Amino acid sequence: MAANRGDHAAASSLAEQVLAVDKDNADAEDLLAAPVDGGELRRLTIMFVDLVDSTVLSTQIEPEVYRTVVGHYRDRVRQGVERYDGHIASTKGDGLLAVFGHPHAHEDDARRAVQAGLDISRAVARLSQRVRKQFGFDIAARVGVHHGLVYLDIVQDDVYGLAANLTARVSSLAPAGSVVVSNAIQRLVRHSFDLQPLPAQHVKGIENPVEHHLVVGESAPSSRLAKGPIVGRVAELAHLQSCWLDAQHDRLTMNGVGFAGEPGIGKSRLATAAADFAVATGAPVLALLGSPFHSDSGLHPVRTLLEDRCGITRETPEADRLALLEDEIAARAMDTAKYLPLFAPVLGISETAPGYQPASADARTLYSRIRRGLCDYLLACLGDGPGVVLAEDMHWFDESTIDLVRALLDAGSGRLLVVLTARHDTQLTPFADAGKARIFALTPLTAAESDELMSALDESLSRTQRAEIGRRCDGVPLYIEEVVTKQAQRLIDSSQWSRVPDVLYEPLFARLQADENVLPLLAAAAAIGRDVTHSLLSRVANLPDDQFATALGELTAARVLINTAPNRWRFRHELLREVAAELAPPSQRRRLHGRIADALTDVATATPDWNAVGVHCELAERFAQAAKAFRHAAHDARARGATVEAHGQLTRALSNIERLPEGNARERQEAGVRLRRGFLMSAIAGPTSAEAAADFERCLELGGSSLTVESQATLQALVGYFLSRGDMRRSALLLETGRVLSAEAPAWMREANTAGFATMSWYRGDFTTARTELENLTAAHNEVDSTHIETAWFIPHEPVASLHTLLAMARFVQGDLTGMQAALDATEARCAMLGFPHGPFSLAYARSIEMWMRYESGQPALSTQCVDSLAGLARRHGFDSWQLLAGAERALIDGVVVRTDPQADPQSVDAQIINLDNWIQAQAALEIKPFLCVYSATAAGLLMKAGRMPEARERLDAALRLTDQLEARFYDAELLRLRAHTHDGQDRRSDLAASYRLATQQGATVFRLRAAIDLFELDPDTRQELLDTMALLPQDSHWPEIDCARALLG
């Protein structure tokens, strides 16, 4: 409160007391570091005017004369600055620094500054003539104009920063008696002034050469330049086209079409479209343009038009002005004696000018005659055919010009189209009420129309970029065009991209009407965001109630803030908020964000918006609190199934932790966040995610050899990662480490580590060991509260659910289909007890494994159902890896169906081979390797069906090499059996015998049965091998090959 009310002494004293007990308090440090007096950051247009060779001059003339001349010079500068509502900020000798945009902001301050510079140069040149005549020497001024970011010290009435210094340097580059502008100004005024580029030059204190431009003079007036394409505005364009068609046929009954709306909404673009219709048919177009500099100057838009058509400039002598006007009137076939006395006053020609006879009439009669005469002139300029008159920016028209427009419409010509534009529809309503014009109130573009405009302006914009531009620009076409243009510049400094374009800054700032009374509230609201509530804003602004209410009322009346609901306000435009957000200096900005975070956290009746708390803590540079808030936000996102969002929140938490001082506390925080992020990445991208593995391995580095639950969880996560990639060697090393660490761990974690060994045994083909361990674990397992496990388990495969799935696999490979089904049922029941992502992810894993087991056991319909269930789980929960695997498994089933279909044609077989190969390559690229041998076996079967035996054999040889490399030999017996069918004679028998021996050694009953059947068909003397294998199957087994074996045995 002390800082807000300007009591810096009290605020500093309190800050010192806080630092005495909390030496790292960032808010207190900011208070002590902040400037003593009030100020704000502003992008201002700055002018520096310097008297040429003043030092030399001061040594050559009397001091009294020098003082007199310099005094008159300063008067001319001051008058020129004040004429355009600028402000002299400082005077240093004969150099004067002026700012435009403070204390009064205008939407065209850059243009005002340059115009003031030209006027000052001309005024000093006229002064020089008097000085030469009276004192015998000449004087000249140099003027430089720049636009940039400064610290505006309101109390000391001065500006600080590079932009202020650069303005003086730019001034030094100006030739005597001229005005130069920087590149920043050139971009803002290039349509209003004729500019000549000058060679870039080095100046003192600036590293790179300064690019600058000489201001030659004012540009010839023209209609507002339309930049982008017209999007939307279907009704408006259709009406304009209809009106122009009627004008071409001299049947236009309502001559006026008006467009009203806020700046940038597209009024001038539609007016230009009307002009384009005329130009396309060779018809004339006249433009009456309002000017903010001359809203009180009678008939200024007409004077500008007349001077342009006559060829009159500022430098044209008065006598020549009269002659040029006379020529123009005669060129229109008008009576010069009648009209010259009426038009000369409009051009400011003196009654004493040679050859000029003023009109004799009283003021009221003369005004009426001038209006009628100008109306005649405009109609004469249009000729006998159709034509268009643009009356643009009528909010800046004086009453006399408005009367002239009314007279044009009253003329009722069926061939004249008059297009009117103004910012408020009330300014055009009188024309509609009189039946002279149809008025369109323009509204912002829709989201779809905004997107269309962005794509038309720059088709390379990504969807994300278009969405961000759309969010910032609120459907205002000019905003979209300028922000897209800035994006297209591909600025190296990314922070520049987020800033409001300079072309829009001055118009937007002028709309803020940000005087000293509203600035604190405006800065607080901008820091909060686009939408604010009364309670939050009042707490953050921390102003007395009466000042708060007054400031809020002013901002609402100015339509900077819109009252959207009781006690809720919204910035009219996001870009307005961004401009307001730039005002507060960094130290004040950090304090504001700290207050916002505190207010958002102190919520008694609801859960805080932790993401918003984290954002504001981060902006306040409270990095530890920001990290904590983002962890809370990640927890909330995960609870509602938003895994990608939760992953992003954890990444942001890490970025804040990295900004904390190094030490054990930081390392513990980093490990905790990385564990959770790796876990979520495993759920999103699958257990083979390299990003997840990098997080887990970093956790091991941070944890060292400490026996913590989190370090054990990290080991298990890495085991899951390497098993999924088929890296048995590293999995074994990690499991051995886990065996040591889990000695003091909870029982369920020791079981999980033992289950990891069993899983590895299964993949290695040691099915007997795997099943024994898994059966023992299941029998000894006590149900554990799922919530307890979920909070400490950082693998999406939940350990108890995975235990049942692994047991199903072990039972399946030994032909126990009934036991397999029981274990799968247990998996499903366990998953139903679990939250997200453990429950859905573990069920997806079970469905994937079940798919393989079902098709191996001759149940293709059930196998397809498993794939459908897997795909559904993946879609609902955003499991990208399972979505990919569902596609691969569907291709696998399709391949099996074609391979076993005796009616399949060769084209279908070839198509399935190609499809399956594509999926094999995709999985290999993602390092999903353990089950590639199954896919290769199916592809080899299709190759055999196509009669391509050598290719099939090579495919199976490659699969065997891969399983040997991975030490994942669970399918080797089946691969050998299939390879046997690519041979004849002894080689076939050799492979079948090897398959039978390996399956027997591994305890793979189902693969042993297949090998025994094939052996018996080749050599009936192997009858005993078949009998021995069948004896191993459960009595109630429904394994499909049993019937075949019985038939062979007879």
Residues 895/939, Cβ–Cβ less than 8 Å? yes
Residues sharing a CB contact under 8 Å with residue 696, sequence separation 6 or more, in sequence order: 674, 675, 678, 714, 717, 718, 721, 794
Name residue, tokens 């080991």.
Answer: 715
Q: What is the C-alpha to C-alpha distance for residues 710 and 751, in angstroms, rounded to an integer?
A: 16
Quick one: CA dihedral 1002, 1006, 1010, 1012, positive or negative? positive
- Say if residue 27 is in the same domain as residue 66: no
User: Does position 188 have pLDDT exceeding 50, yes or no?
Assistant: yes
Nearest to 879 by CA among 931, 844, 847, 926: 844
Per-residue pLDDT band at 221 (split at 50, 70, 90): low
CA distances from 392 to 158, 248, 283 (A): 37, 22, 19
DSSP reduced 3-state for 613: helix
The stretch 352-373 carries a mean pLDDT of 77
- Mean predicted confidence (pLDDT) in 836-861: 90
Report how many domains make up the chain.
5
Q: Does residue 177 form part of some domain?
A: yes
CATH assignment of the domain containing 313: 3.40.50.300
335: burial class by Cβ within 10 Å (0-12, 13-18, 19+)? Answer: exposed
Least confident of 8-17, 983-992, 1038-1047: 8-17
Assess if residue 197 is contained within a domain. yes
Domain shared by 954 and 970, yes or no: yes
Per-residue pLDDT tens digits for 878-930: 888 888 888 889 998 998 888 888 888 989 999 989 988 888 888 777 677 88
The string of pLDDT tens digits covering residues 434-469 is 999 999 999 999 999 999 999 999 999 999 999 999
Q: What is the domain range of residue 960?
A: 868-1049
Cα gap 116→86, rounded to integer Å: 9
The phi, psi pair for 86, rounded to 5°, reads -85, -175
Tell me, what's the pLDDT at 692?
76
What are the structure tokens assigned to 628, written together? Answer: 């904590």
Query: What is the spatial distance between Cα 55 and Cα 34, in angstroms, rounded to a whole number?
Result: 38
Q: What is the C-alpha to C-alpha distance for residues 553 and 576, in angstroms, rounded to an integer?
A: 17
Reported as a pLDDT band with limits 50, 70 and 90, residue 317 is: confident
**Quick one: pLDDT at residue 982?**
93
User: Of all residues in the chain, what percent carry a pLDDT higher than 90?
Assistant: 47
Tens digits of per-residue pLDDT, 544-561? 999 999 999 999 988 899
Question: Phi and psi of 88, rounded to 5°?
Answer: -75, 115
Is 309 a domain residue? Answer: yes
pLDDT at residue 23 greater than cutoff 70 = no
Clarify whether residues 278 and 368 are in a common domain.
Answer: yes
- Determine the pLDDT at residue 967: 87
pLDDT band, residue 721 (cuts 50/70/90): confident
Task: Identify the sign of the CA torsion 549, 550, 553, 558.
Answer: negative
Which tens digits make up the pLDDT trace of 73-94?
999 999 999 999 999 988 877 7
Residues 13 and 69 in one domain: no
State the Rg of the chain over Cα.
Answer: 42
Q: Lowest mean pLDDT: which of 525-534, 544-553, 749-758?
A: 749-758
Mean pLDDT of all residues in 104-132: 91
pLDDT bin (cut points 50, 70, 90) of residue 380 is very high
Contact indicator for 185, 46 with CB cutoff of 8 Å: no
pLDDT score of 65: 82
Task: Annotate 1015-1047 with b (16+ C-beta within 10 A) or e (fewer).
Answer: bbeeeeebeebbeebbeebeeebebebeeebee
- Asked if 701 and 664 count as a contact pair (C-beta separation under 8 A), the reply is no
3-state DSSP of 252-273: CCCCEEEEECCCCCCHHHHHHH
H/E stretch holding 99: strand 95-100
At 896, the amino acid letter reads V
Same domain, 386 and 357: yes
pLDDT of residue 712: 66
Q: Kindly state the average pLDDT of the residues 110-128.
A: 93
Going by pLDDT thresholds of 50, 70 and 90, the confidence category of residue 931 is confident
Residue 513 pLDDT exceeds 90? no
HEC assignment per residue over 1001-1018? HHCCHHHHHHHHHHHHHH
**412-431: per-residue pLDDT in tens?**
789 999 999 999 989 999 99
For 686-707, the pLDDT digits (tens) are 667 778 778 877 877 776 545 4
Between 328 and 742, whose confidence is greater? 328
Closest by Cα among 790, 802, 806, 795 to 717: 795
**Rounded to whole angstroms, how far apart are CA atoms 955 and 625?**
57
Does the residue 247 lie in any domain? yes
Q: How far is CA 950 from CA 260, 899, 946, 956, 982, in A?
A: 79, 17, 11, 10, 7
> Per the structure block, which two tokens stand in for 1014?
């094939």
CA–CA distance, 10 with 881 (Å, rounded to integer) = 60
Is 94 inside any structural domain? Answer: yes
- pLDDT-wise least confident of 299-303, 410-414, 622-626, 829-833: 410-414
Identity of the highest mean pLDDT range in 22-31, 378-387, 634-643: 378-387
State whether residue 1019 is helix, strand or coil: coil
Work out the pLDDT band at 378, boundaries 50, 70, 90.
very high
CATH of the domain at 132: 3.30.70.1230
Looking at the structure, do residues 1044 and 939 belong to the same domain, yes or no? Answer: yes
Q: Is 836 helix (H, G, I), strand (E, B) or coil?
A: coil
For residues 91 and 124, state if they share a domain.
Answer: yes
- Per-residue pLDDT at 1 exceeds 50: no
The per-residue pLDDT of the chain, averaged, comes to: 85
Q: Which CATH number is 538's domain given?
A: 1.10.10
Residue finishing a domain among 164, 183, 218: 218
Residue 1: exposed, middle, or buried by beta-carbon count in 10 A (0-12, 13-18, 19+)? exposed
Rounded CA separation 124/133 (Å): 14
Give the 3-state secondary structure of residue 560.
coil
Q: How confident is the model at residue 368 (pLDDT cuts 50, 70, 90)?
A: confident
In the three-class reduction of DSSP (H, G, I as helix; E, B as strand; rest coil), residue 571 is classed as strand
- Assess whether the previous peptide bond of 103 is cis (omega < 30° from 0): yes
Q: Which two tokens stand for residue 465?
A: 């970029």
CATH code at position 994: 1.25.40.10
Cβ pair 584, 39 in contact under 8 A: no
Per-residue pLDDT band for 155 (boundaries 50, 70, 90) equals confident
Interior/surface letters 612-651, b for 16+ CB within 10 angstroms, e for the rest: bbbbbbbbbbbbbbbbbbbbbbbebbbeeebbebbbbbbe
pLDDT at position 605: 58
- Final residue of a structural domain among 218, 252, 275: 218
Task: Please give the share of the chain, as a percent, with pLDDT higher than 70.
Answer: 90
Does 47 score more than 50 pLDDT?
yes
Q: Are 906 and 1021 in a shared domain?
A: yes
For residue 203, being part of any structural domain is answered with yes
pLDDT at 443: 95
The answer to whether 894 and 884 have CB atoms below 8 angstroms apart is no
Residues 21 and 42 in one domain: no
Residue 7 CA from chain centroid, whole number: 40
Residue 704: its pLDDT value, please?
56
Q: Which of 387, 409, 443 is the last residue of a domain?
A: 443
Per DSSP, what are the bridge partners of residue 289? 392
pLDDT at 629: 94
Alpha helix (H) residue ranges in 257-352? 267-280, 300-310, 318-331, 336-343
181 neighbors 217 (Cβ within 8 angstroms)? no
* Strand runs labelled E in 783-850: none
Confidence of residue 313 (pLDDT cuts 50, 70, 90): confident
State how far the alpha carbon of 879 is from the alpha carbons of 261, 361, 871, in Å.
47, 88, 9
Q: Is residue 298 located within the same domain as residue 430? A: yes
3-state secondary structure (DSSP) of residue 564: strand
- Angle (CA) 737 769 767, round 5°: 115
pLDDT at residue 33, as a whole number: 43
The mean pLDDT of 777-783, rounded to a whole number, is 75
779-801 burial, b at 16+ Cβ within 10 Å, e below that, comes to: eebeeeebeebbeebbbbbbbbb
pLDDT (0 to 100) of residue 956: 94
Q: Report d(CA 998, CA 1016) in Å as an integer.
A: 17
Asked whether the predicted pLDDT for residue 29 surpasses 60, the reply is no
pLDDT for 102 beyond 90: no
Residue 719 lies in a domain: no
Residue with the bigger pLDDT between 736 and 206: it is: 206
Give the model's confidence band at 28: pLDDT under 50 very low, under 70 low, under 90 confident, else very high: very low
The band of 12, judged by pLDDT with boundaries at 50, 70 and 90, is very low
134 and 251 belong to one structural domain: no
Does residue 995 lie in a domain region? yes
In terms of domains, do 247 and 364 share one?
Answer: yes
Q: For 1001-1024, what is the mean pLDDT?
A: 93
For 46, phi then psi, to 5°, come to: -120, 140
pLDDT in tens, 467-508: 999 999 999 999 999 888 887 665 444 445 457 888 888 888
Record the tokens describing residue 24, joined without a space: 């790292």
